[in-house]
Chain A
Amino acid sequence: MALTKRIRTVDKGRRRLLKQVGAVGAAIAAGATGSAAVASAAPIRRAAAPAVVRYAHMNCWDATLCRGQKDLVAEFNATHPNIRAESVEWSWGNYLATMSAAVTAGEAPDVMHVGWGEVVSLGRPYFEPLDAYLTDDLKQNIRPSSWTSSQFDGQTYGIPVTEQLNEVAYYRSDIWQQAGIDGEPTTWEQFTDVAQRLMAAGLEGDGTQASGAPITARFIELQYQNGSNMFVPIGGGKWAHTLDTPESMEAGRFWHSIWRSGILSQSNLQRSSNELEPAFAAGTLGMMHGIVQSYFSMVETYPELADKIRLLPPLRRVNGATVGGAFSLSMFKQARNKDAAAEFISWATTADTMNRFWIPNGHILPTRVDVRYPAMPDYIQQRFGEYQAVQRVFPFVPEWETVKGKVLTPILGDMATGAVDFDTGWNTLISQTNFVLS
């Protein structure tokens, strides 16, 4: 009782003080404007505070990209007076830890630009299903393959906005002309044949980024091309691998053969795009498997190559497939104002916004079919579209990161270098994957 009374007394005192300060402030303001009568007579109308949308992204590692994101937020705020978007800049290096800490603290942002591997596999428990917000425009204009990154079990966890491909096959028309190669390979056998002819011409058959975990991407791509899913859900939240199926082993043997025959040299185990692109520009690689960004950076860094760079069509076995996926805009379940967050996502995924803010600064591919790069040659744009049509994300198995980092990366590395033979390596892959899944 005494404490309540004391609080009330203090509260009264504080209100009295605030009134006095307010009166003094109003008098000063009125004096300054010369309208004392208005100040004392007119009731103070407070405008409704705009709803705040905190938008987290990892796009400030690059100054141009970062500026584009800031412009996007500024434009949204200028055109949406009732909502104020705030840019929350996370770094790629530790964003998962940051996201985890934010969720744990109940301070998750409202909207996040999420990587293609994480929307479903990691974000599923924390992201709001967005199916109720899907408009006809989004359904009709976003590529069907792009949705595979953010949809699982009949629910949509993000709206695809930009697309990343890991294994685009590049070649140089001038180099191939010198090597006497005139047709583009579309099958595994044709690929091997072309690579060997390039090697006979004194070039490295193929270059790829295989330093660390990226070694897994090509392996998985070949698995997908041969009709092996790598992992399949078997109900009850459990998954099984398909490594012991004939189609998986066949794809594994082909992957092994391109390493052990020297089409992919061991130098690739130390290469990222930083090493590959200069080698490609120097004309020492017959082909190069790289990320989408390599196209943009090579055109900018080596403008003399711009009209010589070509893309192979995605290889096909049982079906065409390449590894990649769509970055999405997702909404956290903890979002404080879901309607405002949905408005931000809806606006940011329109064709107009993509054309004005994502495409000029992103160096990525648009997920919408009605958005195009104005300066990109048609033959490149068309090929990227072919890749996008058959892109497949990494498996959504919850243990994926462990399988990738603890099983695939080291064991494939050993198989690629010949430290173990195919049969030993394959059996270890199976036993260790079983161990992780158990």
Chain B
Amino acid sequence: LLPVSAIFLVIVLYPLMSGIYLSLTETNPTTLASSFVGLRNYSHMLLDAAFWTSLRVTLSYATLTVLIELPLALGVALLLNEDIRGRWVYRSLLLLPWVMPNIAAAIIWGWLLSADFGLFNFYLKSLGVIPQNIPWLSRPDLALPSVIAVGIWKGLPFSAVVLLAGLQTISREQREAAEVDGANALQRLRYVVVPALLPLIVLVVVLRFTWSFNTFDTVYVMTGGGPGWSTYLLSIYMYLTAFSFRDLGYGSALATVMLIILICLSTVFIRATTRDDN
């Protein structure tokens, strides 16, 4: 127990407490001279339009990512659970987006969606779908959907693989019994598959929401938070505040608030979805 506690203390508890303490200070990032300011950074946040805007954008980003990704992942998992030829190849290919480094993926997607030379525009124009190039990442109404799409592309393999593992625990007898009882495919999904997968669905939702809420690298590389406020995630605002605006105290306060929001949302969701079991 002692080694585990020591590791936990050094790797988790100390940085966490240090970050929370930093959020109660005004700290010069160069000299690290620090003065205690109590809850001033938090009260400042209440009046900060950038904070509320970035919180709204982050909640939209995380919620839409999970809501769209989950059914897609379940569909992919169901497909890959069938006895199809070359199933192992598809399963391996499915993991490619997941294993690709985030920054590399973001740069490639930035090129694909480029307003000037992007492949998306090239093919859509070649097919006559669009008359002229679309600036996917620089139109406020398209930038957030574009980065959400990339987030889903990146995260779907994880969700699908977890759900696939769950599907494989559902016995053939269970499904056949439902079939004999006259349940159609949709009913089998509703009454057999989903209840059996519920713990894993909760896991996927909580993890993917948390990861999406914390997303930084892909969106920062693709849009830098712009255009305007359209993809200005809380994580980007926190990063810029701490390291670009050089306000370590306020940046830490933003990080602490992110942590509290995530703990609250995860707790509420887990309680709500496991209520029946209790």
- In this assembly, does A126 line the interface, its C-beta being within 8 Å of a C-beta of chain B? yes
- In this assembly, does A16 line the interface, its C-beta being within 8 Å of a C-beta of chain B? no
Q: Whose C-beta in chain B lies nearest to the C-beta of A125? A: B30
Contact of A271 among B53, B116, B228 (CB under 8 A): B116
- In this assembly, does B133 line the interface, its C-beta being within 8 Å of a C-beta of chain A? yes
Q: Whose C-beta in chain A lies nearest to the C-beta of B33? A: A104
Report A386-438 residues with CB < 8 Å from chain B CB: 401-402, 405-406, 409-411, 413-417, 419-420, 428, 432, 435
Contact of B245 among A215, A275, A405, A417 (CB under 8 A): A405
- In this assembly, does B244 line the interface, its C-beta being within 8 Å of a C-beta of chain A? yes
Given that A268-B138, A275-B114, A419-B140 are contacting pairs, would A414 and B244 also be in contact in the complex, using a CB cutoff of 8 Å? no
Distance from A192 Cβ to chain B, minimum over Cβ atoms (Å): 22
Taking a contact as CB atoms under 8 Å apart, the answer to whether A405 and B138 are in contact is: no
Encode contact with B along A326-341: 1 for CB under 8 Å, 0 otherwise.
0000000000000000
Contact of A410 among B31, B116, B135, B226 (CB under 8 A): B226
What is the bound-complex CA distance between A271 and B228, given in angstroms? 14
Encode contact with B along A116-139: 1 for CB under 8 Å, 0 otherwise.
000000000110000000000000
Taking a contact as CB atoms under 8 Å apart, the answer to whether B247 and A267 are in contact is: no
- In this assembly, does B12 line the interface, its C-beta being within 8 Å of a C-beta of chain A? no
Taking a contact as CB atoms under 8 Å apart, the answer to whether B230 and A409 are in contact is: no
Taking a contact as CB atoms under 8 Å apart, the answer to whether A211 and B138 are in contact is: yes
Chain A residues in contact with chain B, CB under 8 A?
96-97, 99-100, 103-104, 125-126, 211-213, 215, 265-271, 275, 278-279, 401-402, 405-406, 409-411, 413-417, 419-420, 428, 432, 435
Taking a contact as CB atoms under 8 Å apart, the answer to whether B29 and A100 are in contact is: yes
A/B pair count, beta carbons within 8 Å:
106
Q: Whose C-beta in chain B lies nearest to the C-beta of A104? A: B32
What is the bound-complex CA distance between A420 and B243, given in angstroms? 28
Taking a contact as CB atoms under 8 Å apart, the answer to whether B138 and A267 are in contact is: yes
What is the bound-complex CA distance between A266 and B137, given in angstroms? 10
- In this assembly, does B129 line the interface, its C-beta being within 8 Å of a C-beta of chain A? no
Distance from B95 Cβ to chain A, minimum over Cβ atoms (Å): 30
Taking a contact as CB atoms under 8 Å apart, the answer to whether A270 and B138 are in contact is: yes
Taking a contact as CB atoms under 8 Å apart, the answer to whether B138 and A266 are in contact is: yes
Other than the given A266-B139, A417-B228, 17 more pairs (CB < 8 A) read A96-B246, A103-B31, A212-B225, A213-B224, A265-B135, A268-B138, A269-B137, A270-B137, A270-B138, A275-B117, A278-B117, A406-B50, A406-B245, A410-B53, A411-B228, A414-B229, A419-B140
